[in-house]
Structure 1
Amino acid sequence: MDIAENAALVVVDVQKGFEELDFWGRRNNPAADDNIAALLDVWQSTGRPVVHVRHDSRKPGSPLRVGHEGNGSKEYVERRRGKGTGGELLVTKTVNSAFLGTPDLAAWLRAEGISQLVLTGIQTNMCVETTARMGGNLGFEVLVAFDATYTFDLEGPFGWRRTADELAQATAVSLHGGGFARVVTTDDVVSAAQ
């Protein structure tokens, strides 16, 4: 695997509000936060750019709503902000895709000459997946560090329920098998980026 010298790490919605499990339910992948931190450390130590994405929910009662403590970044992310030499960008959004936020992520990436993205964050099957799909559609080379993401159990139509692991696996198959992104491990990305 090759990681470009200017590949952007896109850290999607790693916010305190996702710790409110009474709201979200059971999550998967307890190692995700350590893996996200490892990716941030490598990106900062190698001078690559980091894009932080924050979901500003418009839903009353959402743990991610503006003005609520849960809207802020998780502590380990906040401690690392501004520590790298590769530059940082904050994108805020109210929908699933970081490409529909402010400022315009695609325009910024193109202006910086960045064509490769590594995605990490929360939720695997929501904002990470939507950002990966749009990134692929827009012509970027997208890698999803699968074990540096997590999600929650979910109920859909017809009483169907899927566990967080099932949803995450379905996302990985759809993204990788559908050609939107390459689904990889944190260890592989870290090794290639060093």
Structure 2
Amino acid sequence: MFTKTYGYDAVIRLLGTENNIATTGHFTSRLRTELATSWVDTGKTAEDTFTLLKLDKTAYKIFTAPPMHKGTTNPALDLYVAYVRQFNEHAKKTKKKIGLLDMFSKTYGDNGVAKMVEMGVRVPTTQKVSSNLRRQLLRKWEINEQSPEDVFKLLKLDEAGNDLFATPQISKTNSIGTGKISIWCCYEY
């Protein structure tokens, strides 16, 4: 109903106000869940939803754009996470679940996702989603039996040459656990 009246962009902006206005928190949380559920019920695919939310166009801004309000993540990202959760809840019957990583990897590639994770783990409001993407990425490589050498190349760490340890991925300003090099180091095949 809200989307028909105000459009998706306005509803997504409304969802971004959740953490700052106590009176709207319950409402926006419910609206997010109901909207995601309606997309699942009407047969919207993950690709449809990803595109509708413009996550296919925003790239790294998903994890780096300053939130509209302190403490709020990207509302489109939150809505996509809710969609994936609802899709998988409904998929228990069909056993055709999707992962949060699926559309990100399809759109941006594993190297692109690794860059997003690298940025996202530094931002408190996106740490949880970024960590989830990181776990799914590592699991994907393990399932596909990719060697550490393959992952090293996939992350383009081989292109750093002699400057590998001077790259921003592992500079002293980054904490342990961030950066592509730490993703590679966590990968144990």
TM-score (norm 2): 0.27
Q: Which has the higher contact order (CA 8 A, sep 6+)?
A: 1
Question: Which is strand-richer, 1 or 2?
Answer: 1
TM-score (norm 1): 0.27
> Larger Cα Rg: Structure 1 or Structure 2?
2
